[in-house]
Amino acid sequence: MKVIWNSEIVERSEVRIDPEDRGYQFGDGIYEVIRAYNKQYFCLDEHIDRFYSSASKIEMHIPYSKEELKELLNRLLVETGVHTGNVYLQMTRGISSPRNHMYPDAAVLPMLTGTMTSVERDADQMSKGIATIVTEDIRWLKCDIKMISLLGNIMVKHEAHKRNAEEAILHRDGIVTECSSSNVAIVKDGKIWTHPDGNLILPGITKIVWKKCAEKLGYPVIEKPFSLDDLYDADEVFCSSTTIEVMPVCKIGNNVLFDQVPGQVTMALQKAYLHEIE
Ligand code: PDD
């Protein structure tokens, strides 16, 4: 399979990563996951903008223009022949040799890689929903940076897996933030609540899309912190991300709290989202 390696598209077997690459040693890097449907990227500009924004928040210089990055990604799509799938794009700060916490000087080039995987939409799961657990948000305080150091996210995802769930809903002192790899929203009396953007959550691209859909459908979206009590009292709960789109939650811990999954509002958003990608 072809992959992106710096400014080239090469065979995966040709890629060489140095053992002193800072991504490998420090988790010093950023990433994006971008979905392609029918041989076209969805929300490519938004993902590229967020990639640049993550880079600037850690003072990492991307030595490519946005147009060059898009061109590379488009070439990857053509050369892999993937119809519907996900690209994982990552940039690390390059090599510090010998190992040194300090940012290297500007002459050290970052390392860009991108891999494409063919993945169909999981309509079955989207109609059944996912089981979740609730656990403490153990991550750091800059969750708006889409960085590759994801140990906190991985640990809570693993906890969910051990408890037979697909996703972990996270809270800080009783305030729901987001999930291990998605944003979360609740529906109460026809209104949608979700945590405001800021340093405690990743500003989701999927969230931008479903918010637009909600606006068109006439559902008010309230971007204010809400509590665990609000979560348990919700009429509907859904998660959102590039890979799972608008995914209903069918269970929280051992409790099945909802009469119908997906609920009316979630289902309307799913339909509107599908319309956006078609
Ligand atoms: N995760 N919050 C977190 C912590 C995430 O990791 C993600 C996405 C989201 C949703 O962002 P978006 O709608 O832009 O995909 C929210 C990706 C898919 C991942 O790490 O695989």
**Predicted local distance difference test score (pLDDT) of residue 256:** 83
Active site residue 79: no
Q: What is the pTM of this model?
A: 0.97
Residue 57's closest CA among 30, 33, 34, 32? 30
Q: What is the CA radius of gyration of the chain?
A: 19
Pick from 265, 235, 261: nearest CA to 248: 261
pLDDT tens, residue by residue, 39-67 = 999 999 999 999 999 999 999 999 999 99
- pLDDT at residue 117 in the model: 98
Does residue 24 have a pLDDT over 90? yes
Active site residue 103: no
Q: Write out pLDDT tens, residues 221-278.
A: 999 999 999 999 999 999 999 999 999 999 999 888 888 999 999 999 999 999 999 9
Query: CA–CA separation, 245 vs 9, rounded Å?
Result: 28
Residues touching ligand 1 (Cβ under 6 Å) are 33, 153, 178, 181-183, 202, 204-207, 240-243
Spatial strand order of the sheet with 245-252 comes to: 221-223, 191-194, 183-188, 236-241, 245-252, 130-136, 167-172, 175-179, 226-227
pLDDT at 225: 98
pLDDT at position 257 is 83
* Ligand 1 mutation target, pool 241, 246, 247, 276, most atoms within 8 A of CB: 241
User: What's the pLDDT at 259?
Assistant: 86
Q: Is 202 known to be catalytic?
A: yes
Question: Can you list the domains of the chain with their CATH numbers?
Answer: 2-118 (3.30.470.10), 123-277 (3.20.10.10)
162 is catalytic: no
Which residue among 32, 89, 112, 146 is the active-site one? 146
Range 90-109 average pLDDT:
96
Indicate which residue of 202, 236, 251, 273 is catalytic.
202
- Percent of the chain scored above 70 by pLDDT? 100
Instruction: Note the pLDDT of residue 189.
Output: 98
pLDDT at 260: 93
Question: What is the number of the ligand 1 atom nearest to the C-alpha of 47?
Answer: 14
Residue partners of 254: CB distance under 8 A and separation at least 6:
none
Taking the centre of ligand 1 as the mean of its atom positions, its distance from the CA of residue 98, in whole angstroms, is: 33
Protein residue whose Cα sits closest to atom 2 of ligand 1: 182
Return mean pLDDT, the chain.
97
Q: What is the pLDDT of residues 139-184, one digit of tens each?
A: 999 999 999 999 999 999 999 999 999 999 999 999 999 999 999 9
